[in-house]
Amino acid sequence: RDIAYDPPPAADALHFRAANVLEGNWTGASTVPSRGLYPHQWSWDSAFIAIGLRHLSPLRAQTELETLLDAQWGDGRIPHIVFNPSVPLDAYFPSPDFWRSSTAGRAAGAPRTVQTSGIVQPPVHALAAWLVHRADPGLSRARGFLTRVYPRLAAWHRYLLHRRDLGGGGLASVVHPWEQGMDNSPCWDAPLSRITPAPARSFRRADLDHGAAEDRPTDLDYGRYVRLATEYRDRGYADGGGDFAVEDPAFNALLIASEHALARIARELGAPGTARHARAERLTAALIERLWDPAEGMFFCRDTRGGGPDGELIPERSVSGLLPLLLPALPRDITAALVRTAHGPHFGLGDTTRLAPSYDLLGEAFDPHRYWRGPAWFNTSWLLERGLRTHGERARADALRAAVLHLAGTSDFAEYVDPYSGEACGATGFSWTAALALDLLH
C-alpha cells in the first residue's frame, strides 16, 4: 500500500497546537498522558513529556520530573503510575486499591502519602533530566535541580541493576508487560502463555470506556496482566520469585543511554563520571552478548524463564529490537545492520511505512490497529530518529523527523497511528506525541 502525504503544516502552527495539548494536560505539578484514558502520571510518559516541555518552560519540565521522583520507593524503584487522589477510583484500572502500594509495598519502601503502582517503566529519566538541564543550565543550577535529582536517579539505576538482574547476565529484566511499556507486544505471547489468566469477572476494564476494543489489548491479555500484578503485590513487590522475567532490548538500551547521561550529570556536579561510563560500556557488551542476533540483524527479547538454563530468545521482531541504535558506542556492523533492518521489509521505513511500526509487518501476529501489535508510536520513532542522526544517517533521520511532525499534526497528536495509512488510533491530544514533536521542531 502506498499513501500520498501532503506537505507538513506550517511549523509554527504545529508548535502552537503541541503547546496547547501540553497545556491542557498539565495538572499543576505534572502532565497526564491523555485526559480521558490515562488520568494519572505515568513514568516514561513524564520523561518524554519533560523532553518536550523544556522548550516551553524549563521550570515545568523540571517540576514534571521532580513530581515523579517524589513518589520514588525506598528501594529505588520509580513507580509506573503516580495516582492523582482527586481522580475517581473507577476512572482507570488498575486503581490504587488494586496496587495497595502504601501497605503491600511497605517492605520495599513505598511512600506513605502518595499512592502509586508497584511496577516500573523504561528508565528514560536520567536522559530526560540531562536534556532538561541543558535547556536552561542557569535556572537548573539556581534551583539545584541536578543536585536534587542525581541521588534519586542513581538509586533508580542501582535498583534496576541489582534487584532486576533476574537472568544473571548483567541486564535488567521486566516482570510485567506494562513495565516495558509495549503492553501487548507479540514478544510477550510466549512468556505470557505460561500465566493463568485471572477470571474476566474479577476486574473491570476502565480503558474500554475510552478506547475502541479492537484497538486495545484483549480480555485474555488483561486477565494475565492482572494475575501477574496480583502475585507481585502479594509477594510484597519483592523481586525474584515471579514466573515472568524478560530482558528487553529497548528497556536496557534506555538504561544504558541514561547511565551515560548520569555520567554527564555527575561531571556537571563536579564528580568524575568515569565509573558510570564504564558501567554503561559493560551493559552494552551484555546487551550484545545476550540479545543481539547477527543473522536477523536486530536485537530480540530474552525470556529468562523459558528454554534452557539461560532462557531463550523470543523470535518476534518488535521495534524494541531496533532501538539500541540510539547508543553511540555500538559497533559499526551492528548499527549498519539495524539501519538495514529498519528500512527492510519487516519495518518498511521510508518505503511502505513512514513511522516505524511497533511490530514486524510480515509477522503472523501483525495487526495495524491493535496497540503494540503493529501500529506506529511517536516515542519509538523519536528514539530511532536520534539513533539515525547519531550514526550519521542524516537523510534518513530527516525523513523520519518530517514524518513524525507531519503525522503528529494530521492525527491531532494521536497516541498511535496505522503504520500504513497514518490514520489516528487510541487517544488524541496525547502528551508525548505533542512533546516529542515539539522537541523535533527545535
Nearer to ligand 9WN, 415 or 439 (CB): 415
CB count in 10 Å sphere of residue 243: 14
CA 27, chain centre distance (Å)? 21
The site string for ligand 9WN over 122-161 (x = CB under 6 A, - otherwise) reads ----------------------------------------
Distance of closest approach, residue 79 Cβ to ligand 9WN, in angstroms = 11
Q: How far apart are CA 335 and CA 337, in angstroms?
A: 5
In the structure grid, which three cell numbers stand for residue 49, read together? 513529556
Closer by beta carbon to ligand 9WN, 2 or else 97: 97
Task: Between 84 and 140, name the residue whose CB sits nearer to ligand 9WN.
Answer: 84
Q: Whose Cβ is closer to ligand 9WN: residue 44's or residue 159's?
A: 44
User: How many CB atoms within 10 Å of residue 10?
Assistant: 10
Of residues 272 through 301, those in contact with ligand 9WN by CB under 6 A are none
Distance CA 407, CA 404 (A): 5
Nearer to ligand 9WN, 38 or 145 (CB): 38
* CA distances from residue 109 to 72, 75, 105, 122, 216 in whole angstroms, order as listed: 9, 6, 6, 20, 33
Residue 243 annotated in active site = no
Nearby residues of 381 by Cβ (< 8 Å), 6 or more positions away: 355, 356, 400, 403, 404
Considering only 39, 45, 252, 256, the residue that binds ligand 9WN (CB under 6 A) is 45
Which range binds ligand 9WN by CB under 6 A, 23-31, 39-47, 53-61, 404-412? 39-47
Q: Report the alpha-carbon distance of residue 427 to residue 415 in Å, rounded.
A: 5
| Among 26, 38, 251, 300, interactor with ligand 9WN by CB under 6 A | 38
Q: Which of 42, 130, 347, 378 binds ligand 9WN (CB under 6 A)?
A: 42
Q: Of 183, 215, 316, 418, which one is the catalytic site residue?
A: 183
Q: Does the N-terminal peptide bond of residue 94 adopt cis geometry, omega within 30 degrees of 0? A: yes
Stretch of 36-44, 55-63, 100-108, 334-342 lying at the interface with ligand 9WN (CB under 6 A) = 36-44
Residues 16-35 close enough to bind ligand 9WN by CB under 6 A:
33
- State which of positions 79-108 bind ligand 9WN (CB under 6 A): 80
Closer to ligand 9WN by CB, 247 or 415: give it. Answer: 415
- State which amino acid sits at residue 150: Y
Total interface residues for ligand 9WN by CB under 6 A: 10
End-to-end CA distance of the chain: 32
Q: Which of 99, 178, 359, 420 binds ligand 9WN (CB under 6 A)?
A: 178
Helices 125-135, 145-158: inter-axial angle, 10-degree rounding: 170
Cα 49 to Cα 396: distance, rounded to the nearest angstrom: 24
Q: What are the backbone dihedrals phi and psi of residue 189, each rounded to the nearest 5 degrees, phi first? A: -55, -45
- Our answer to whether residue 415 is catalytic in this structure is yes
| Ordered DSSP codes for 267-286 | HHTTS--HHHHHHHHHHHHH
Residue whose CB is nearest to ligand 9WN in the complex, by number: 33
- The beta strand positions in 221-378, using DSSP E, are 246-247, 292-293, 298-299, 301-308, 311-314, 376-377
CA separation for the pair 166, 175 (Å, rounded): 9
Binding mask 188-207 for ligand 9WN (x = CB under 6 A): -------------------x
Binding mask 228-267 for ligand 9WN (x = CB under 6 A): ----------------------------------------
d(C-alpha 100, C-alpha 102), whole Å? 6
Nearer to ligand 9WN, 42 or 188 (CB): 42
Least distance (Å) from ligand 9WN to the CB of residue 268? 29
In the list 8, 39, 96, 181, the residue contacting ligand 9WN (rule: CB under 6 A) is 181
91 or 154, CB closer to ligand 9WN?
91
Name all contacts of 19-24 with Cβ < 8 Å and 24+ positions apart.
Answer: 19/56, 19/434, 19/438, 21/413, 21/429, 21/430, 21/431, 21/433, 21/434, 22/49, 22/52, 22/53, 22/56, 22/431, 22/434, 22/435, 22/438, 24/429
Interaction of residue 429 with ligand 9WN, rule CB under 6 A: no
What are the cell numbers at 162?
541489582
Choice from 26, 44, 347, 416 touching ligand 9WN (CB under 6 A): 44
In the complex, least distance from residue 108 CB atom to ligand 9WN, rounded to whole angstroms: 19
Which positions are annotated as active-site residues? Answer: 183, 415
Q: What residue ranges bind ligand 9WN (CB under 6 A)?
A: 33, 38, 42, 44-45, 80, 178, 181, 183, 207
